[in-house]
Structure 1
C-alpha cells in the first residue's frame, strides 16, 4: 500500500499544478456567461412561409428546365402560392404522358388534375413536403447564424432552436450590438440580374414596371455630409445567376482609392455560369443584388473566365467585412424577424460575480470551521481536499472552454457541499471502526472501503441527473449541469483518492495509535 505513495503523491501534485496552470489567471482563462458579463439576448423567428414560397418557385423552374431538356414544347410553367400548385401549360397534348413521367422524378408532387382539354397539368406539393421545407429552413437558419456568429468572433455564444420556428441567440460580451443584429438578420441572398433598358427607372416608377421587371434601389451615402440617397434601377425579376455556387468571399482594397470591396470566388460550376453570364451580356449592364438591394450595376466589357467577381458599393471596412462573413456563411433560407432584443449591462454581471464569489468564500469558510471543530485534524485534511476540488473545477472549466454562469456558480456551491459530504461518510465510518476497537490503520482502511460504495452510488446518480439536465435544459440549466458534472468528478478524486493518500502518507512516516477525528 505504502509503495503506491511513490506514484500517488507525484500524481496529485501534477494534477494540482496542471489545474492551476490551466485556470490562471482566472479572469482571462474562464469565459463568463451572458448573465455575468452582460451581452445580447435575441429571439428570432424564421419566416418559414417565405422558404416554402421560394422552394415552390424553384420547383417550378426545375420542372421547366427538365421538360425543356426532354424537348417538350411549353407555353408556360408557373407556381401559385395560394394553393401550393405548379401549373404546366403544354403546346400539344401529345406531350402530356412524357410530362407526367418526367414530373414523377420530383418527390412529393401529386397530380391534381388537368384543364384546357388536357393542355394544362396541375401539380400540388404534398403537406409532408411543406412540413419538411419548414423544418429544414429552421435548421438551416440555425447553422447559418451559428457560422456567422463564429466568424464574427463572439466567445461562447448560445444558439438554439425554441419551439417550431424560433431561434434563441445569446452573445456574451458583445461590444457592437447593432452590427451583430445586422449581420445575423441579413438574408444574404446574392443574385446577378440583368438591367432592363426598355425604359428609364423614373418612367417605370411613374407608369409601372414592365411585366417581369421591378424597380430596386442602390443606397448611396455622401462621405462628406453623411446624407443617404437611393438611386432606382429597373431590374429583370428573374436572376441570371445566384450565389449558391460561391466558395469564398473576402475583403480587399483597390489600388487607386484604397476603398474596400468584396472579392468573390465561385466553384467550377459557378465559374462556368459566370463566364456564360459575361459572354451573353457583353456591352450590357448586370446588377449585383443582395437581399433586393443593388450594390452595383456595371457594364460587362469583356468575357470573364476564372469564376471571379467583385462587389463594390462604397463600403466602410466593417460593412465590407460583415458582407463577406454573411456570404461565406451562406444565405438564410428565409428572412428572420427579431421578436425580442434585450441588452444586459455588464454592471449586473459584476454584481453577480461578486455575490457568487462571496457566497462561495462564505460557504467555504463555514464548512472549514465546522469540519475543524467537529473532525479536528482530520477535518483539516477534508478542507485541503475541498480546496483542491475547487482548483480542479476551475482548471477543467478553463480546459473545456465552458462558460461560467450564475447557475454555474450555484453548481460550484452545491459541489462544495457534496465534496464535504463524501468526507463525512468516510470519517463517520472510521469513527465506527475505532469505537469497536480496531487499530487506527485498520479503521482507516475499513472506513474508506465501506464508504466507497455509498459515495459512488450517490455521485453516479447525481451525475446522471446532471447529464440529463445538460442534454435537455436551456442555457442557464446547462451552465449548472456543466459545473455539477465537473465538480462531481473532482470531488470523487479529492474525497477518495487525495484524502486516502494523505492518511496513508501520515501513517507511513510514523506509527499512529490515536487519530484526531473528534
Structure 2
C-alpha cells in the first residue's frame, strides 16, 4: 500500500506543478503581471465595447441573382436565343429573375438553358406566352443567408484580430435574427474599431453608362424617366474634392470585394495615400476582357466607377487593358488608406450591416467588479474552510487542501486554454467551491455512518468513499450537462460561467475523490490499528 500511496502522491504533486505553471507561465515583470498575462479578463471586468450588429442578408441574395442575370444572358446568347430580356422587375423580390421576349422558335433552346444544372437552385415556371420566372428555392435562400452570416462573422473576426484586440468575442447573437455579438475587452479607441466594423468595405467596379448628373431628377429626365432594370443610380464625388454627383452604372459589377487577393496602402506619384490591389486569377482575366473591350482606342470606349460603401469614390476612363493589379486613389488620409487596405485584405463583407446596440463599459466598473468578485470569492472560501475545520475537525484540513488544489487546477486550466474570466465566471468559481464542499460532506458523513456502525477507521474510509462515489458522480454529471447546454446556447458571459463551472466540476471530481482519499490513506498509515479518526 505504501508504494501505491507514494505513486498517487507523486501524481498529485505533478498535477499541482503543471497547473501552477498554467497560472503564472514563465515569470516576467513580476508574479502579478505574469498572472495577468495568463488569465485574460472579459469585457465586464476589463472594460471595452459591446456591439450587436444586424447583417442585411437580403443584399447577398440580390447580389447572387444579379450575377445570375448576367450569366443567364450570356448562356442564352450562346444557345442562339437572341432578343430575350433578362432582369429583375420587383425590388421587393430579389430572389426572382424574369425572362421575357423569347422567340417562339427558340423556346426549346431557352428551356434547355433554364432547366440546366447551372440553374438548379431555381424553380422555373414558364407561361404559355414563353415568359419564364426563375425563383431561387427556399432552401438555397436559407443556405445563402446562413453562409452570409457566417462569412460576416469570420470577416469581422479577422479584421479585429488584425487590430490586435485581445480575446474578442465575435459570434451569432439572438435566435435566427441574423445578428452578431461583438465584445472587445480593453479597447482604448472604440470609435476606430466601430468604424472598421461598420464599414462594409463592399468595394466594386462598375461600368458607367451615364452621368454625371446634378440631381436624381435630371438623371431620370436624361433617361426618359425610367432607369433600365440592369442599371442603377449611385451618388458620389467621382474624384477628390468634387461635389456630390450622380452616375448611372451597370448594376452587375465587373469586379467586387471578394475578387481581391491582396491590398496594401501606398502613395501615388504625388505622394498622396492610395491603395494598391491585386485580383484573383479568374477576376483578373474577367477584368482584362472588360477593360480591353472598352479602352479609349476601342470601338466602344468607356469609363468605370469605383464604388465603396454604395458611393462612387472615383470615375476614370479606361486608357489601357488592366489584368490583375491596379490602384485606388481618392481623398484618403493615411489612416483611412491603412484601414481600407486592411478591410480588402481580410475580405469584403458579403452584405452591409447596421447597429442594433452599442454599449461602452468603463474600466472603473471593471475594477470594481474585479474587487467585489475577488472579495466574494475569498470570503466565501474562507467561510467554507472555517466551517469544515470546526465541523469535521482533522478531516476538515483534508477538505480545505482539496478545495485549494481545486482552485489551482481551475485557474491553471484557464491559463493554458486562454479562457476569458468574466464576472459570471467568478460566480462559476464560487459555485465550484460549493460543489466541492458538497462532495466532501457526502464522503465525510458516509464515513461517520460507517464508524457509528462499529467499523474500523480504515474500513469506514474505504466504505465511505465507495458508497458516496455514485452520488457524487450523479450530481456532477447532471450539473456538467447543464453547463454544456449553457455553453452551446449561451453567449458572452454566460459561456464564461459555463466553462468555469464545467471544468471546476471535473477538477472537483479529481480532488474530492483522489486527493482526499490519498490524504486519508496517508493519515491512516501513520496511525496505530484501531486508533480513532478525527472526523
Q: TM-score w.r.t. structure 2 length?
A: 0.85
After superposition, residues 393-432 of structure 1 pair within 5 angstroms as 393-432=410-449
Q: Which residue pairs with 1:288 in the alignment?
A: 306
* Runs of 5+ consecutive residues of structure 2 not aligned to the other structure: 25-33, 297-301
Residue 46 of structure 2 aligns with which residue?
A: 37
2:259 pairs with 219, 235, 246, which one?
Answer: 246
Number of residue-to-residue matches in the alignment: 507
* Residue of structure 1 equivalent to 2:74: 65
Residues 429 and 500 in structure 2, CA contact (< 8 A), matched pair in contact too: yes
TM-score, normalised with respect to structure 1: 0.88
| CA deviation map 1:167-195 (0-9, x unaligned) | 13232222222222222232222212234
Q: CA deviation at 1:433?
A: 2.7
8 Å CA contact retained: 1:427, 1:517: no
Pairs within 5 Å for 1:149-228 = 149-154=160-165, 155-171=167-183, 172-195=185-208, 201-202=213-214, 206=218, 208=220, 210=223, 212=231, 214-218=233-237
Q: How does 1:38-437 map to 2 (within 5 A)?
A: 38-81=47-90, 84=93, 85-90=96-101, 92-105=103-116, 106=119, 107-115=121-129, 118=130, 120-126=131-137, 129-154=140-165, 155-171=167-183, 172-195=185-208, 201-202=213-214, 206=218, 208=220, 210=223, 212=231, 214-218=233-237, 230=243, 232=245, 234=247, 236-239=249-252, 241-243=254-256, 246=259, 248-254=261-267, 260-283=273-296, 285-305=303-323, 307-437=324-454
Give the Cα–Cα distance (whole angstroms) in 2 for the partners of residues 168 and 364 of structure 1. Answer: 37
TM superposition shift of 1:215: 4.9
Q: How much is the aligned-residue C-alpha RMSD, in angstroms?
A: 3.0
1:11–1:259: structure 2 CA closer, same or farther, 3 Å change rule?
farther
Relative to structure 1, the CA distance from residue 423 to residue 302 in structure 2 (aligned partners, 3 Å threshold; closer, same or farther) is: same
Q: What SS does the aligned partner of 1:65 have? A: helix
1:110-160 deviation per Cα after TM superposition (whole angstroms, max 9, x unaligned): 215254xx4x44444455555554444444433433343343433231421
Greater Cα shift, 394-403 or 258-267 = 258-267
1 CA distance for matches of 2:439 and 2:350?
A: 53
- Change over 3 Å in CA distance of 1:295–1:355 after alignment to 2: same
Gap regions ≥5 residues in structure 1: 222-227
Q: Extract structure 1 runs of 4+ deviating beyond 6 A.
A: none
Question: 2:127 aligns to what SS in structure 1?
Answer: strand
